[in-house]
Amino acid sequence: MKLLKTIFKSIAVAFSIYSKIPMPRFEWGSKDMEYHLCFFPWVGAFIGGVMYGWYRLCDYLSVRDLTFCLIAIAIPLLVTGGFHVDGFMDTMDALSSYKDKEEKLRILKDPHIGAFSVISMCTLMLILTGFFYEVDREDAIILICFGFFISRILSGLMVVHVKCANEGGMLAVFSNSAAKKTVTVVLGMELMVSIVALCIYSLYAACTAVIVSAIWIILFLKMIKKKFGGITGDLAGFFVVINETLMVIAAGVWCVLG
């Protein structure tokens, strides 16, 4: 009974933080934060489920391609309230400043947005629209849907294992509160199951997801070490947004070449 209560609270905390999905309200304690990262990827699973449902509905009703891709782009924003996009925009402002590490970290914490974040966001939306427009196969959609889940698993693993650039930030609180060994094991199992499931459905999709994510992880870790000295909440959000976008690009290219 205690285990079920812990799981329920962890799910509620994860979905309350990382999504706009209504959850039961209660006062959080440090114990409630220990395992919430285990359920962080399931926000991505929910997004993927809604995305697949939208694809099937459009296919059944013969909805036009542009309508499909614009709503598809909106689905993650509606579910999360733009939680990770906020990190993407803050990160683009910081990277575009060409300042030192301390100034970049200050920009990440600044609640205001700059011109570069707006330009970057508009560019991202145009890229997503273009590649989503080319997605016309179910196996490509499956890759995108799994991408929401896998991106959050990898982000969760980095939160608990990569050095925090700002020890006083929200991410540091999440990382320090997490039961790191348990979270690592659970997220690792979720990653393996998702890859195996993708392999069963489409070996190409599984290989694409692994290769794209692995390359992005290497580039991301190298970038944050050099430019920020570690990871922050905004940088974790930036990672999720770019990894999801790369999945869409890969799926779009796959459909064009296939």
Q: Would you state the pLDDT for residue 164?
A: 86
Q: How far apart (Å, rounded) are the C-alpha atoms in residues 22 and 11? A: 12
Q: Would you state the pLDDT for residue 171?
A: 65
Segment 179-184 shows an average pLDDT of: 86
Q: Which residues touch 34 (CB under 8 Å, ≥6 apart)? A: 10, 177, 178, 179, 182
Over pLDDT 70: what percentage of the chain? 92
Run of H or E including 8? helix 2-18
Report in angstroms the alpha-carbon separations of 79 from 43, 108, 151, 192, 246.
Answer: 8, 23, 15, 25, 20
Do residues 10 and 37 make contact, with C-beta atoms less than 8 angstroms apart? Answer: no
In the block, residue with structure tokens 């999440």: 174
In the block, residue with structure tokens 């998702």: 194
Segment 202-221 shows an average pLDDT of: 94
Residue 20 has pLDDT above 90, yes or no: yes
Hey, what are 219's tokens?
A: 């580039």
Q: How far apart (Å, rounded) are the C-alpha atoms in residues 140 and 252? A: 7
Grouping H, G, I as helix, E, B as strand and the rest as coil, residue 164 is: strand
Over pLDDT 90: what percentage of the chain? 64
Buried b (16+ CB within 10 A) or exposed e, 180-219: eeebbebbeebbeebbeebeeebeebbebbeebbeebeee
pLDDT in tens, 108-123: 988 888 899 999 999 9
Q: Would you state the pLDDT for residue 175?
A: 62
- Output the pTM of the full model: 0.93
pLDDT in tens, 37-50: 999 999 999 999 99
Residue 28 has pLDDT above 80, yes or no: no
Nearest Cα residue to 41 out of 15, 3, 74 = 15
Q: Would you state the pLDDT for residue 172?
A: 62
Confidence category of residue 194, pLDDT binned at 50, 70, 90: very high
Which position has the higher pLDDT, 46 or 167?
Answer: 46
Q: Would you state the pLDDT for residue 86?
A: 93
Hey, what are 254's tokens?
A: 């796959």
The DSSP output letter for 199 is: H
The DSSP output letter for 28 is: -
Nearest Cα residue to 160 out of 33, 245, 8, 45 = 33
Buried b (16+ CB within 10 A) or exposed e, 70-103: ebbeebbeebbebbbbbbbbbbbbbbbeeeeeee
Q: How far apart (Å, rounded) are the C-alpha atoms in residues 67 and 82? A: 20
Q: How far apart (Å, rounded) are the C-alpha atoms in residues 232 and 165? A: 6
